[in-house]
Structure 1
């Protein structure tokens, strides 16, 4: 019985990669769960497998969604987030004065 699953290409890539790696690492456990459910329900493993795959996908997705962005983001997601952040700033702001950029203005409180 195979536990390989092809998930939607519209899913986030890191979620489907995570699911595939879990299935590879825990192939025996997955087959055991599917076998036990098939025995309990009197259904074939082929009928049980889509339900187990769907549950695994939901559990992994919930786990990933609970983790912070910096732990789960891919390089392209970082680039997209940075560009969105940069685009939200006003581009017509006046430039800072020479004094505002000077060392004296940065450490002004130390001089008091």
Structure 2
């Protein structure tokens, strides 16, 4: 089964390294979370840590996949820079109340849009 390249998982080593860095950067917060989980679930630290590790790994993979998707799709969704001259020209047309043509109702019929298409 082939995997869409946009959603390919990052290398396992890369994910493991990202988890290690995340745990190192948030050591105190993770310790607090673990303590709370021990308290509210009445489970031991050894029971909770594997679940917490798996959850962190999944969250980091989701983030990596989202980043990969953004990297691939960013070329399709480039926002055009604001053009103040074009905006001013558009506003001048509105201010001058240029008589814009009014289209007849026939212009909005299915036949006029699609023609005699089967």
User: TM-score, with normalisation over the residues of structure 2?
Assistant: 0.47
Larger C-alpha radius of gyration, 1 or 2? 2
Tell me: higher relative CO, structure 1 or 2? Use CA pairs within 8 A at least 6 residues apart: 2
